[in-house]
Structure 1
Amino acid sequence: MKKKLRKYIILPLLAVLWLCGCGKKEETDTETVYADREKNQELADFLIAYYQIPEEFCTETRYYYDRVDLNEDGTEEILAVVVGEYTECDGGDPAVILEQSEQGYQVLERFAYVRTPVYVSDTMTDGWHDLIFPAYGGEEGTGFRVFHYQDGIGYQNENMEFMEDMDENFCGKKMIADNFIDDMDKGNYLTLRETPLSGN
């Protein structure tokens, strides 16, 4: 009788402890954010001019973007990645961090190539959130490139780190987490220029 009673007490207790543990884990889970699907032709035009993309490539070149307040000043920056035959390289796709004002877009940082998703860490350096990009192959090998902002220089400085595995205690956002291959198959993406309708 005591064994049965103990069983009925312990099992619910374990369930409660498990739920509490999951609750704690949820607090540190990464927030997954997919790219904005609203067409932004002003941004597309800027990217065409900035990367000097020939018109014949524009209808096939995709762009993914979203907004995030990287320096906690109350104004969101734009993170944009350009994906296409003309701009791609072995290390990934080019990306920019932009500031938007009435005068247009200003490039705050440019990356020659990145892999997605982009991890925006809750940890900040010199007032800006750390950025983490997956890395595949190359001199560094497979892992993650960690960029710490440096006042007066930006994200690309000698403080860049490389880690083989993502920190289990990572807290932050996983942005532009879209599956580029799946999007391509489904036609679920934005291009710098719309494909003209046949007959026009």
Structure 2
Amino acid sequence: MVRTLVLAASLVSLAACSPAEEAEAPAGDTAASDAQAAPSPAPEDDIRHFLMQEYPDGLPMRYALAWSDLDGDGADEAIVHLVGSYFCGTGGCPTLVLTPAGPMWRKVADISVSRTPVTVMDTSTNGWKDITVAISGGGGEAGDALLRFDGEAYPSNPTVQPAEVTGVTGTVLIAEEPDFTDLAAEDGSGG
């Protein structure tokens, strides 16, 4: 009988401790809370890992990165302008727009033949801010191409319709001569 009561008391005691209660550290006990909450990687590291997975291993590239909440959901999208001989031609280099998708990133734009500056406009289309990229070279008209979100993505080629060449300006996200990060130097593989 005593054994049954001890067992029952132990089960009640265990049931009273929910995982949520166990995860909470007593007030002022920062060591316990720090040990339980693993630090999440910096958003810049997430983008670096995305680029390393997306493009061939060891591919020399540089990129410029900016953040802006393009869809108004409170989470910033990453705007990434890539530079490297693998990507770029006489018309320019690619610009990516990545949106958070759980712990990953999803492309909502892979804009070819673009140049900097990259700007965000005050206007929106289908719930996303309009953006511009500079275009020139490759035999096309130079200017700023206005790119509007079509409900799924931004146009992939800023030199053809539905992109429009415009003189309208917005808030510059990536400067005409941005600071670039060398992906090869960051991952330790050299350049």
TM-score (norm 2): 0.65
Tell me if 1:40 matches 2:44.
yes
State how far apart, in whole Å, the 2-side matches of 1:145 and 1:197 are: 36
How far is the alpha carbon of 1:39 from its aligned partner? 9.1
Matched, 1:156 2:162: no
Does structure 1 residue 190 correspond to structure 2 residue 181?
yes
TM-score under structure 1 normalisation? 0.62
SS at match of 2:183: coil
Residue 197 of structure 1: CA displacement? 9.5
User: Relative CO higher for 1 or 2, CA cutoff 8 Å, sep ≥ 6?
Assistant: 1
After TM superposition, give the deviation of residue 69 of structure 1 in Å: 0.6
Say if 1:87 and 1:48 are closer, same or farther in 2 by CA, change over 3 A. farther
Gaps of 5+ in 1: 1-37, 184-188
Compute the displacement of 1:137 (Å).
2.7
Deviations 1:47-84 (A, max 9, x none): 132132x41x33xx211111101111211101011111
Gaps of 5+ in 2: 1-41
Letter in 2 for 1:193: A
Matches within 5 A, 1:8-19: none
Amino acid at match of 2:185: E
Identity across matched positions, percent = 26
- In 2 relative to 1, CA 105–123 (structure 1 residues): closer, same or farther, beyond 3 Å? same
What is the distance in 1 between the residues matched to 2:148 and 2:136? 20
What value does the CA root-mean-square deviation take over the aligned residues?
Answer: 2.6
Against the structure 1 CA distance between its residues 197 and 120, is the aligned structure 2 distance closer, same or farther, given a 3 Å change threshold? Answer: closer
1:102 Cα deviation (Å)?
4.1
**How many aligned positions are there?**
144
Whole-angstrom distance in 2 between the partners of 1:75 and 1:113: 27
Q: Is contact 2:113–2:135 with CA below 8 Å preserved after alignment?
A: no
Aligned to 1:72: 72
